[in-house]
Structure formats: C-alpha cells, structure tokens
Amino acid sequence: MNNQSTSFLKEDPWRIFRIMAEFVDSFETLSRVSPAVAIFGSARMPRSSPYYKAAVELARGLAQHNLTVITGGGPGIMEAANKGAALAKGRSVGLNIELPMEQKPNRYANIPIHFHYFFARKVCFAKYSIAFVFMPGGFGTLDEFAEIITLEQTQRIPEFPIILFGRKFWSGLLRWMQKNMVKPGYIDAKDLKLVTLTDDPQEAIDIILDYERRVGPPEMVPKAFA
C-alpha cells in the first residue's frame, strides 16, 4: 500500500465524519429558526461607517417582522447585523469560522454556530435563507455573491431576493458585468435582473417582506436544495 492510500485511510474518513457533524449540528439548529435573511459584508467595516449603521437598521427591521438574521458571525457588517437583530430581541445567528486574521465571534449573535469548513458554512447560508443582502465587502462578500447568483441563475435554488446595498460600491461591478458579460453573451440580460440595487434599508426590508407575503407562510416558502 502506497503512502497516498495510507494517508487516506488515516485522515480522510475522520475528515468525512467531521464534515457530517458540522452539517448535522447546523441543520438541526437552523431548521428551527427559519425563515431567515442572510446579510454579508466586510469584517473590517468600522462602527462609524454609514454602512455599519444601515446594517443595524436593516437587521432590526427584519427581526421586528419575525425574520431571523444570519451572518458570518464576525466583526464589521456581521456584527452590525447581529446587533440590529439582537436589539429587536430577534433571532440573531452567527455562522462563525475561525480564521488567522479578523474573524472573532461578535457578542450579538444569540445563536452561534461554529464551522471548520467554509463550504459547509456556505451551504447553510443558502439552505436556510429566503433573501440575501450584500453590503460592501471584500473577497468573501464577492465570493458569497457569486455563489448565490450562480445558484439562482442555474435554478439550483429559487429566485430569492438578492439585494446589493450601496450604489456607490456595487454600481461599477454591475456596469462591468453589463459590458463584459451580458454584451458578449456570456450571461443573459435577465440574469442581472435577479439583483436589486439600493441605498435604503427600508426598501430592502420591503422587498423581502413582499417576497415573503407572495410565497405565503413559512411552510410554503420554497426550499433551497429541496
């Protein structure tokens, strides 16, 4: 038996069990708190930023309408969204993952769930949310945005609301997509209609509540990965 096979037998089965445990634990918890809205954004956003304040307002409004708020559980925008939900005495979920820099759990997530694997964490965002709000952020925010819009474009999940918050931040990306993706035919023009751009927390709340009203009570909301 070669070294590669020996390594698999020693390490990979235990890794599989660890992955399974992350899914079982997180699915069990999140299945009790949906419907939820996922809010993404920079871990480095200062508390003095208008975007931080907007995230607090947005999450508070969602929690007041009995929607769970889910974030990555860290600082910055994640902290702001968890704080807003907690201030409204709502369900404030933090899907935290330990990173070498910047990712420490914020104190406002009253339902903390810890992950070792990024992909398991990403599945939970998509599976238990009925809407997605993307505040300004870095690579992680762009990664989540690309993931969710791809899942909707390919009809792997329902057409849940996708809201890009911050016209100044997101408009350039949308123009680039129009010029370099839609115009050459790499994506359809209708694909960009999956996205709503806004600077208004109340508009974002209204879009999400309107979607919830249209699809009916929680048990009637379409499920991702059904």
- pLDDT tens string 29-68: 999 998 999 999 999 999 999 999 999 999 999 999 999 9
Concatenating the DSSP letter of every residue in 146-211 gives HHHHHHHHTTSS----EEEE-HHHHHHHHHHHIIIIITTTSS-HHHHTTEEEES-HHHHHHHHHHH
- On the question of pLDDT at 98 being above 80, the answer is no
- On the question of pLDDT at 8 being above 60, the answer is no
69/39 Cα distance (integer angstroms):
7
Q: Could you check whether the bond before residue 35 is cis, i.e. omega within 30 degrees of 0? A: yes
17/207 Cα distance (integer angstroms):
40
Which domains does the chain show, CATH number per domain? 3-219 (3.40.50.450)
- The pLDDT, as a whole number, for residue 1 is 47
DSSP conformation class of 101: S
pLDDT tens for residues 137-164? 999 999 999 999 999 999 999 999 999 9
Write down the pTM of the prediction: 0.90
